[in-house]
């Protein structure tokens, strides 16, 4: 897996968009990239919850 910086990934994603893309689409793409990076980091740090624990937690709502 090629490790890209967040900036590199964002720039490449924006370059792939059509020329007539609006700012909302660009911002959404950047938002998704950021969320994916944060999720990967949380997984790496073990900051996740398994499905069984989540279901038990939801039952308490």
Instruction: Indicate whether 9 pLDDT > 80.
Output: yes
Give tens-digit pLDDT for 14-49.
999 999 999 999 999 999 999 999 999 999 999 999
Q: How many Cβ atoms from other residues are within 10 Å of residue 30's Cβ?
A: 15
Determine the pLDDT at residue 4.
81
Handedness of CA 23, 25, 27, 29 (dihedral sign): negative
- Enumerate the domain spans of the chain: 20-59
Query: Taking 80 as the threshold, does the pLDDT of residue 3 lie above it?
Result: no
Confidence class for position 56, pLDDT limits 50, 70, 90: very high
Look at residue 1 and tell me whether its pLDDT is greater than 60.
no
């Amino acid at each position: 897996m090629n490790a890209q910086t967040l900036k590199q990934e964002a720039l490449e994603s924006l370059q792939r968009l059509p020329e007539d893309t609006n700012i909302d689409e660009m911002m959404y793409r950047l938002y998704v990239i950021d969320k994916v990076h944060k999720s990967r980091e949380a997984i790496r740090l073990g900051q996740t919850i398994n499905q069984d624990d989540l279901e038990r937690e939801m039952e308490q709502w």
